[in-house]
Chain A
């Protein structure tokens, strides 16, 4: 069989030119071909421990792999490759550390080269392999390989020809993502093409593992990758029929080139007009075997045939300054008329400014992209796709000084600053140094895990803060729900959706069981006892509690109302009574004692044992010499042995709440979790307190040799004493933007279509006046905005003048038209009069001559 493949390869080599560029026939070559593994061995579906197919050896039989590798999708690692105009970078996004860092090796201004971050090809492939079409950094041979790399286990992520060219409905980008996440690089193409089932996880396997070793039968968790080919796809000669085509379906491109406006319903989204008209991406974005794909920019090539694949080139037939003969109207592109649009717009705007992207609004939209936000990964994966935050459209001048719509990303990262040099820190390093500062939910979860009662079915510990109650979901993640009445910074129990304190000592009775209030009762506590009195029918009228000149009365509606005490009861203190037609009848103290006790029993009241139990559970979390303590009734308690507690001197700085669970460290107390943790658990972004703490931690770590800084939302933040100093002018904080071209809207939806000058030239029109908010994963720049005209390079005075002139336009246009008409009439009239005079003179002269 090997000889057959050699012959095939020879045939391909002999017809090399035809294979490389095609022989001119428009028939689609049928790809019924054998598959080869990376060692060049032909694959048999019957070999259950076989290797995955290799694109390099299989496709490379006929198509020169090295030539293809020159293509734009695969050459970013090559410093000699043409960078072209700025485009979407890779974005290193990490919610935990508040990082969104644009990365590219293209050398565009505002992006960071992977090597600047110390990111090895291995790391790059691991992080971005999900949208890497293979090749590029995933196949770079390193002089000094990353010691953490595991290429020998994972294999190389070869250029995945099928990822784009396979029109089979079985081609599955999600499968590619899964396999790259598992470090199954060698198997990713086989799995995503649907040629077989790939199992196992390379990242779990010992780094000494080799595919030839097969599975480790003693370790089911570390199952090495393997492939089980679908036999029905192979013919008798072990060949498969691949639906490979050069006219790539748009769906293949969408895997990495989709954009989604946040909050826009799927049914509201229109296709790009070109796609709707029947074109595919590759109709314009063409390439030869070298895969140097046409990017659609007028300046991207000196070849007129290529240039005419740009907007202007196709619709006008214009070519760049590089000259050449161009034929517009390719693929039936209509020539635009732009009626009523002063042609200066065509000089100062890109076509996309008016025709592409979402309609500009007062604030730019947030957009998620396939590559940045991991879109299009279908299945049960619970991706966090909010980060990075990308705004669109932001109108900015391009290299040719034409305004056009851009996507904009404000970098956010931690950095080591030395002089003017800023070096980003990798999120994993920051997370290591920051520790639990960046894991507030984990800190709370740890306390909740200790507090959750093991003996009460359905009861879980909960933490109330900011009107929400948090319960533990995992060791690092909390879930929350709104519960306004639960208090702030309070630890409790959630049982059947009902909030309860950890122990009912808060009812106010002293810990030795004597029924004597130690502190004023809370209304909710009074209500519980009154409800119990009513339930036990101990009162003929309404149960009432008299204290401090107030009467707390339980009504027939099953609710407590607070009123002024009845006449003569203003001085009553701590009296439980029956209110019958305005008369107060105190309830027997003994009966009342039992009554209150029943409430206490029902609510599992605080006994020394109950409190000691909670304190004992919390003690291990306090660290060092510190112990857990309980603050109640103005006294502080700690565990004094098995099931017992003892009072300790109250701290000088007393807690503000009546009841609190605390950490007693020496003579000082502190909350179980720091205040910044409470603030951060419900926040969707890093809090200022977290940023300060992390900066302090980084500053004292060996990661930072200069000064620690955090860049976010257009500012560079440094610690200055206890405060954050923000520098909004630092170059490192400037946003990175890249032009967008799609989706192209219909002509009727272009800005300014049908003479709608107001689309852009009205007061407050988003094109000039939109407020661009520097989106940040940290809550540091809230409310800060940058006007669109600032990005466009205008000043507000000029724009105001512009608007006024546009407002004047009707007078100019219609007044001017009338004036021109009247002048024309005058010219015609006097012209005829002049003609008449000349003719008359000629006639007279002729008459005289005849005479």
Chain B
């Protein structure tokens, strides 16, 4: 019954609308609210803090590349061909999958502690991080990760878990083809949601917050950037010698 219902929903359309809608929302946000730029004098600051270690950046890069590879290969088949993944796309997908599994595990192990919500995160959430105009120029309280990043983290962890489980669950000679069908749809929709979230994350990490992407590349951020976006963490860094 549910399978028949799911079969009637054109995933090609849903995925197209989902991806296009996310991109449209990003464009809308960028045009209407604009990026969180630092003041010109702040942008020239030379003092910097190490925000991400080499291991963290490496794992983040692995997670990013494998996730993008999986999303692109899967969605090309779903949106481009309107079919299941096959041919070379499938092979690339199959090689990227184990990388993503281990990267996901590493990301969770590495950042789960930093992903815990704190009391001050309510304020960040109340202002929606300043992304919708209110509190845009305030330094909203945020630890190493702000509340949005924490939400993103747990969403990716949850969706990633579903994606991995639904992906490999079908390979075990345990589930009947009916359950496999459910897992297939779970894989599809979880992946779509994860992709939309990742696109949002990519926007916020680049266009919406200039200077953020450098942290993923070099691991270092400027003091004004840290003070502006992660004041609690900045204070911790300043007050704890050896954290620089």
Q: Tell me the A residues contacting B by CB distance below 8 Å.
A: 336-344, 346-348, 754-755, 798, 801-802, 804-805, 808-809, 811-813, 815-820, 822-824, 826-827, 830, 833-834, 837, 841
* Nearest A-chain residue to B170, judged by Cβ: A342
Contact status of A343 and B177, CB under 8 A, knowing A805-B94, A812-B94: yes
Contacts of A341 in B (CB 8 A): 173, 177
Main secondary structure of the interface of B (DSSP, over half): helix
Q: A347-B84, A823-B157 are in contact. Are A816 and B98 (CB under 8 A)?
A: yes
A347–B90 Cα distance when bound, in Å, is 15
With most chain A CB atoms within 10 A of its CB, the pick from B109, B115, B168 is: B168
B91 pairs with A801, CB closer than 8 A: yes
Q: Are the C-beta atoms of A340 and B161 separated by less than 8 Å? A: no
Interface positions of B from 174 to 210, Cβ below 8 Å from A: 174-178, 180-181, 184
Q: B38-46, B53-61, B99-107, B139-147: which lies at the A interface? A: B99-107
Q: Is the CB of A817 within 8 A of B168?
A: yes
- B91 contacts A805, CB within 8 Å? yes
Q: Does B108 contact A (CB under 8 A)?
A: yes
- Residues from 78 to 93 in B contacting A, C-beta threshold 8 Å: 83-88, 90-91
Interchain CB contact under 8 A, B177 and A823: no
CA distance A433 to B88 in the complex (A): 54
**CB-nearest residue of chain B relative to A803?**
B91
Residues of B within 8 A of A337 (CB): 176-178
| A344 near B86: Cβ-Cβ < 8 Å | yes
Q: How far is the CA of A805 from the CA of B84 in the complex (A)?
A: 17
Contacts of A826 in B (CB 8 A): 108-109, 112, 157
Establish whether residues A338 and B104, one from each chain, have CB atoms under 8 Å apart when the complex forms.
no
Whole-angstrom CA separation of A822 from B94 in the bound complex:
21
Please give the distance in Å from B11's CB to the nearest CB on chain A: 14
Q: How far is the CB of B224 from chain A (nearest CB, A)?
A: 32
Q: Does B160 have its Cβ within 8 Å of any Cβ on chain A?
A: yes
B97 at interface (Cβ–Cβ under 8 A)?
Answer: yes
Interface residue count for B (Cβ, 8 Å)?
44
Q: Are B84 and A824 in contact (CB under 8 A)?
A: no
Cβ-closest chain A residue relative to B163? A820
| Interchain nearest-CB distance for B9 vs A (Å) | 17
Expressed in whole angstroms, the minimum distance between the Cβ of B4 and any Cβ of chain A is 11
Rounded to whole angstroms, the CA-CA distance of A830 and B154 in the bound complex is: 10
5 nearest A-B residue pairs (beta carbon) = A340-B173, A337-B176, A805-B94, A755-B173, A819-B105
Name the one of B94, B95, B161 contacting A820, with C-beta atoms under 8 angstroms. B161
Q: Is B148 an interface residue (CB 8 A)?
A: no
With A and B bound together, what is the CA distance between A23 and B154 in angstroms? Answer: 69
Shortest Cβ gap from B3 to chain A (Å): 11
Q: Which residues of chain A have C-beta atoms less than 8 A from B157's C-beta?
A: 823, 826-827
CB of A762, distance to nearest CB on chain B (Å) = 16
Known A338-B180, A816-B164; further 9 A-B contacts with Cβ < 8 A: A343-B177, A805-B91, A817-B168, A820-B165, A822-B109, A823-B104, A823-B105, A823-B108, A823-B160
Determine if A802 and B91 form an interchain contact, defined as CB atoms under 8 angstroms apart. yes
B131 at the interface (CB under 8 A from A): no
Contact partner of A343 (CB less than 8 A), chosen from B95, B116, B173, B180, is: B180
Sampled A-B contacts (30; CB under 8 Å): A339-B177, A340-B170, A340-B172, A340-B175, A341-B177, A342-B170, A343-B180, A343-B181, A343-B184, A347-B83, A754-B173, A755-B173, A801-B88, A801-B91, A805-B90, A808-B98, A812-B94, A812-B97, A813-B171, A816-B97, A816-B98, A816-B101, A816-B164, A816-B168, A820-B165, A822-B105, A822-B108, A826-B109, A830-B112, A834-B117
B21 within 8 A of partner (CB) = no
Task: Judge whether A815 and B101 touch: CB under 8 Å.
Answer: yes
Q: Is there contact, CB below 8 Å, between B184 and A820?
A: no
| Alpha-carbon separation in the docked complex, A755 to B175 (Å) | 11
For B173, the chain A residues whose CB sits under 8 A away are: 339-341, 754-755
Interface contact A339-B175, CB-CB below 8 Å = yes
Q: How far is the CB of B45 from chain A (nearest CB, A)?
A: 35
Q: State the CA gap A809–B94 with chains docked (Å).
A: 8
Nearest-neighbour CB distance to chain A for B76, whole angstroms, equals: 15
Residues of A near B184 (CB, < 8 A) are: 343
Q: Which single residue of chain B is at the shortest CB-CB distance from A809? A: B171
Does B158 sit within 8 A of A, measured CB to CB?
yes
Q: Once the chains are docked, how many angstroms separate the CA of A827 from the CA of B86?
A: 32
Q: How far is the CA of A811 from the CA of B168 in the complex (A)?
A: 11
Q: In the complex, what's the smallest C-beta–C-beta distance from B87 to chain A, in angstroms?
A: 6
Q: How far is the CA of A504 from the CA of B85 in the complex (A)?
A: 80
Task: Say how far B100's CB is from chain A's closest CB, in angstroms.
Answer: 9
Which A residues are in CB contact (< 8 Å) with B94? 805, 808-809, 812
CB of B167 closer than 8 Å to a CB of A: yes
Bound-state CA distance A348–B77 (Å) is 14
Complex CA gap A801/B86 in Å reads 12
CA distance A805 to B95 in the complex (A): 6
Known contacts A336-B177, A343-B180; decide if A348 and B117 are in contact (CB<8 Å): no
Closest to A800 in B: B91
Chain B neighbourhood of A833, CB < 8 A: 116
Q: Is the CB of B117 within 8 A of A837?
A: yes
**Is there an interface contact between B87 and A798, defined as CB atoms closer than 8 Å?**
yes
Closest to A818 in B: B105
A residues in contact with B167, CB < 8 Å = 816
Contacts of B90 in A (CB 8 A): 344, 802, 805
CB distance from B122 to the nearest CB of A (A): 10
In the bound complex, CA of A347 to CA of B77 (Å):
14
| Shortest CB distance B149–A (Å) | 15
**How far is A397 from B171 in the complex, measured between Cα atoms in Å?**
25
Q: Are B102 and A342 neighbours in the complex by a CB distance under 8 Å?
A: no
Query: In the complex, what distance in Å separates the CA atom of A816 from the CA atom of B160?
Result: 11
Choice from B83, B87, B115, B171 contacting A342 with Cβ under 8 Å? B171
A802 to B102 alpha-carbon distance, docked (Å): 21
